[in-house]
Amino acid sequence: MSKLSVSIVGGSGFAGGELLRILLFHPHVHIQQVTSERLCGKPISRVHPNLRGITKDKFCSLDALKPCDVLFLALPHGAALKNWPNYLQLAHRIIDLSADFRLRNTATYQHFYGQEHPYPELLEQFIYGIPELHRPEMENARFISSAGCNATAIILALAPLFGDGLIDPTHTIVEVKGGSSQGGNKPNQGSHHPVRSGSFRSYKPTGHRHTAEVLQELRHASNLSPHNLNLHMTASSVDAVRGVQATCHTFLNAGVDEREIWKAYRKWYREEPFIRLVKERDGVYRYPDPKLLTGTNYCDIGFEKDPLSNRLVVISAIDNLVKGASGQAVQAMNTMCGFEETTSLSFPGLHPL
């Protein structure tokens, strides 16, 4: 069986580095080219030192790209749109890791990203990149838009509750905490180490752009209209490099007990290879912890019911660069191309770390 030719546009960033780490060990993939305009001609291991001795390839420029079977776009938000006609000529299948094609509604895109979408006709052609919710569509897809990291953690935590109608769909509050690698490999004032070290900072109390993805996908899971579903999200940065933890405050409908909650999660995720339900009643690891998921494509989900009210607190955790970005993109590629979905993604993490 001949290998799939794969190229990566924007391979010098954190997401590009994780794509390389995963795909270099994929038995059905040959990495054809990796671009970086800034590092063109330089060895890949110069910027990704963990790949020393693993690959001797060098970065190339966009102009040097040749046609391939699958093209990954690991570019900053907005960058893929600038060269989209060229990418269409290079590959029949494209997986975009940015936010450029995640939203179906053009007005919602304009609201959250401050501009009109230049290719509105393509939005319906892109499949939103969470395989657990869109596997059948991915199997015949040409274009996949990989989901945001915060959105992934929230959607996977809440989809069974919204989908099975167990909670009040108009009243959900989510606090997401993420590591510094969410900001990419170009430092800014907020990610500069002396400023960020030791800090717990709420950087987006309202209006986080991933809110749009979450609402879109929870509506898909529940078939609720926009007027019957609402969610409030706050995002904070913590003193860590990797990881996302979402703490979701939901409110159960009358008469819903813990047995029904477990039944919903098992129904939705029993066959899912990358969803792990955390059920421990005691001990330090009784709630999902992003640290345990470093380098993995797993999403851990647990919950606790407030004994004094109808509040249900759902906690989920992922590695933002893997299940929240590159790992999930490879999972989507595996589904799209008919490979075993877990191929090259079975790393279980490290403990202690």
H or E element in which residue 6 lies: strand 4-9
And the tokens for 85?
A: 């006609």
Determine the pLDDT at residue 129.
97
Q: Where do you find CATH 3.30.360.10 in the chain?
A: 150-318
Q: Tell me the pLDDT of the chain averaged across its residues.
A: 94
Determine the pLDDT at residue 202.
84
Give, as one character, the DSSP assignment of residue 180: G
- Sheet strand arrangement including 143-145: 29-34, 4-9, 68-73, 91-96, 143-145, 126-128
pLDDT tens-place string over residues 57-84: 999 999 999 999 999 999 999 999 999 9
pLDDT tens-place string over residues 141-187: 999 999 999 999 999 999 999 999 999 999 999 999 998 877 776 66
**Please, which pLDDT band fits residue 245 given cuts at 50, 70 and 90?**
very high
pLDDT tens-place string over residues 33-60: 999 999 999 999 999 999 999 999 999 9
Q: Is the pLDDT of residue 130 over 90?
A: yes
3-state helix, strand, coil in the chain (%, to 5): 35, 20, 45
Q: Is the pLDDT of residue 1 over 70?
A: no
- Sheet strand arrangement including 201-204: 201-204, 232-237, 173-178, 244-251, 311-318, 299-305, 275-277
Segment 195-214 mean pLDDT:
85
Q: Domain 4-146+325-337 falls in which CATH fold?
A: Rossmann fold (3.40.50)
Handedness of CA 124, 129, 134, 140 (dihedral sign): positive
Determine the pLDDT at residue 153.
98
Determine the pLDDT at residue 200.
79
Percent of the chain with pLDDT over 70: 97
Q: Which CATH number fits the domain 150-318, given the four candidates 3.40.30.120, 1.20.1090.10, 3.30.360.10, 3.40.1160.10?
A: 3.30.360.10
pLDDT tens-place string over residues 246-284: 999 999 999 999 999 999 999 999 999 999 999 988 999
Q: Is the pLDDT of residue 188 over 80?
A: no
Q: Taking the model in full, what pTM does it have?
A: 0.96
And the tokens for 299?
A: 């999403």
Determine the pLDDT at residue 353.
87
Burial of 348 (0-12, 13-18, 19+ CB in 10 A): exposed
pLDDT tens-place string over residues 292-349: 999 999 999 999 999 999 999 999 999 999 999 999 999 999 999 999 999 999 999 9
Segment 102-127 mean pLDDT:
94
Which residues are tagged catalytic? 149
Q: Where do you find CATH 3.40.50.720 in the chain?
A: 4-146+325-337
Q: Which amino acid is at 330?
A: V
